Amino acid sequence: MSVTYPDSRGRFGEYGGQFVPETLMAPLKEIDESLQAAMEDPSFIEAYHQALKDYSGRPTSFTYADQLSEYLGGAKIYLKREDLNHTGAHKLNNALGQALLAKRMGKEKIIAETGAGQHGVASATVAAKLGLESKVFMGEKDIERQQLNVFRMKLLGAEVIPVSSGNKTLKDATNEAIRFWVANCEDHYYLIGSVVGPHPYPKMVRDFQRVIGDETKDQILAEQGSLPNRIYACVGGGSNAIGMFYPFLEDEVELVGVEAAGKGVDTPEHAATITKGSDGIIHGSKTYLMQDEHGQITEPYSISAGLDYPGIGPEHAYLHASKRVRYESVTDDEALDALQLLSRKEGIIPAIESAHALAQAFKEVKDMDANQSIVINVSGRGDKDMSTIMNVLQEGE
Amino acid sequence: MSKSTVQTSFEQRLQKEKDLFIPFIMSGDPSPAATVELALTLQESGADILELGVPYSDPLADGPTIQEAAGRALQHGMNLKESIELVPKMRSKGLEIPVVLFTYYNPVLQYGLEQLFQDLREHDIDALLVPDIPLEESVELKEYAHEFGVELISLVAPNSEARIRKIAEQATGFLYCVSSLGVTGERKELSQDISSFLEKVKSYSSVPVAVGFGISTNEQVHLMKQYSDGVIIGSKIIKVINGYHDELVSESARPSALKKVKQEIVELVQ
């Protein structure tokens, strides 16, 4: 395919780049060079795909949501089932790829940041499988909110490091992971969880997640002999969305990224970075972010911890600026409604993150024709969200 | 950027090129008025260049001490504009040494590059240091710096390797050498092989070469001065200042607190 960005400086148009302290330039270069060599090495690619198949259970299913399509009317609804991946979300695709790279680079220790704990669990999982030592940085506030995932990580042998700086959430965990990495880059590999951070991370994570879109393309062509009219995916940092969208960028398919509007984009409590944010630098990359007039980064809010991030991957900023992808936002309430609808009509309980993509699709699908089709990426399963959902729904009763 | 024959304000204000003491303080910590007085106290304590920090919500290159200082300053509503406006107040009270404004890049982007350099010039600020801009991303800043006669201070690290020469040859003002990998903050021991790194940097640099990150004892100050043209001290100074937090905030108790700060700083660097 002819989409060859980012350029050698890691720029997607004006976004991306390497806005990092000088001390990080050497480790980033080491990763960039190792990644290029690995991606050109057939044995590395084979090992990655083999692990996806044997360990994670790929390819993931592609489900025609017949009950739901009939109920809502309009276009046919297909679901890409990333919830069926080992550990319950798309996160493992990337964690496996990067851990294999770390091992190839001779690094025996990995570090990772986590918000809700999904990427932390994926990292701890691959570290266990590949015999690597793992440290997961997690904000103290998130540790309190996600005790089950903290326990899962510990069970998998990871060390969970509580972060007490800043607001004690994902943004701060990421800062702290980067700070630790600067001091320990000689023997540690930083396994970042989304298409964010300095070059080459956004490109690397995309390339390890594009398997979602590649499979989807084969599956829909096998199913109906033509591409879908639209594809929906939720966007926090944006790794499941980029993974899904990237193989379709040059096709005539409308791509829709769905952000978290929290309690509403007109309230201070949301995480709708593209809808409400502006250009700036976060975690080493130029992109859209949520900030005040003085350039201080502000704290996002969403019921879904996986979308609760004040920035967005630089490639999304570029795809928004170039108008290739349409970005919408969905509130907590709308996402919860969609989550319940999918549960009842299809017997699939999605993650609250994924429910954002579902909610936007459900709003739009009714206005489409019966001979049209859409794909929604169900990026993860809802098991991790049971207590959150239970609390909200019982309150409402 | 080659040195022009016209001296920059930084060069005019810098009194010597060796044995430099470069302290770092955070604007607004513990209060804006105290920051102005602390600048003068540091000059009296022998500071040759003042590094004035602008608080930022996400200071990636800083350890806990400077993060906390930034947090305190942000709570007082300090920002880039108000930081800049502190300097004329320092000057009117007799601050003569060059001032380097230290700020992360995101506040600069929101402020606007041209506006920033214009304001630095108008407020008698001689240099700018942006810790999250490596050489590759610095082209635009360099152009403005040159246009407005403001020095852009670069950092170089022990792992910069092949980049050391490039960074050192292009350095203006002074060159900030990171003593060891990691973030700012005190260290018990500084790297043993720092002398060969500093030798290499000095061989390519036409400006003074100063060492920072982790310097917190009189012994370390003397050791680092043997290998370099000066020392940059941040976290340790913030800690000394924070030891007198309440007194420095109070206008009546401030003069005696400043005396005690001066005594501790002199003991640290003399």
B179 in contact with A at a CB cutoff of 8 Å?
no
Q: How far apart are the first and last CA of chain B?
A: 35
User: Are A183 and B181 in contact (CB < 8 Å)?
Assistant: yes
Rounded-to-integer distance, Cα A357 and Cα A369, Å: 20
What amino acid positions of B are annotated as catalytic residues?
A: 51, 62
**A12-52+91-205 and A57-88+210-396 have identical folds:** yes
User: Are B182 and A182 in contact (CB < 8 Å)?
Assistant: yes
User: Are B81 and A294 in contact (CB < 8 Å)?
Assistant: yes
Task: With a cut of 50, say whether residue B106 has pLDDT above it.
Answer: yes
User: Are A23 and B133 in contact (CB < 8 Å)?
Assistant: no
H or E, element range at A361: helix A352-365
What's B16-269's CATH class? alpha beta
B211 in contact with A at a CB cutoff of 8 Å?
no
User: Are A291 and B110 in contact (CB < 8 Å)?
Assistant: yes
Predicted pLDDT at B1: 45
Predicted pLDDT at A306: 87
Measured between CA atoms, the residue of chain A closest to residue B109 is: A280
Q: How would you write the pLDDT of chain A (397 residues) with one tens digit per residue?
A: 446 789 988 999 999 999 999 999 999 999 999 999 999 999 999 999 999 999 999 999 999 999 999 999 999 999 999 999 999 999 999 999 999 999 999 999 999 999 889 999 999 999 999 999 999 999 999 998 888 899 999 999 999 999 998 888 899 999 999 999 999 998 999 999 999 999 999 999 999 999 999 999 999 999 999 999 999 999 999 999 999 999 999 999 999 999 999 999 999 999 999 999 999 999 999 999 999 999 999 989 999 888 989 999 999 999 999 999 999 999 999 999 999 999 999 999 999 999 999 999 999 999 999 999 999 999 999 998 998 899 998 876 5
Rounded-to-integer distance, Cα B146 and Cα B108, Å: 17
Rounded-to-integer distance, Cα A62 and Cα A82, Å: 9
Pair of tokens at residue A54: 């044997």
Predicted pLDDT at B205: 96
Every domain of chain A and the residues it spans: 12-52+91-205, 57-88+210-396
Measured between CA atoms, the residue of chain B closest to residue A183 is: B182
User: Are A179 and B60 in contact (CB < 8 Å)?
Assistant: yes
B159 in contact with A at a CB cutoff of 8 Å?
yes
What's A12-52+91-205's CATH class? alpha beta
Phi/psi-derived region of residue A256, left when phi > 0, alpha when psi is between -120 and 50, beta in every other case: beta
Residue range B252-259: average pLDDT?
A: 98
Contacts of A165 in chain B (CB under 8 A): 64, 67
Predicted pLDDT at A3: 63
The neighbouring-strand residues paired with A337 are none
Q: Residue A394 contacts by C-beta under 8 Å, 6 or more apart in sequence?
A: none
Predicted pLDDT at A395: 77
Contacts of A185 in chain B (CB under 8 A): 159, 181
Interface test with A, best of B58, B113, B135 (most A CBs within 10 A): B58
Which of A19, A166, A279 has its CB closest to that of B132? A19
Predicted pLDDT at B193: 78
A162 in contact with B at a CB cutoff of 8 Å?
no
Nearest Cα to Cα of residue A36 among A18, A14, A2, A10: A10
Please determine, looking at this structure, whether the domain spanning A57-88+210-396 carries the CATH number 3.40.50.450. no
Contacts of A283 in chain B (CB under 8 A): 58, 60
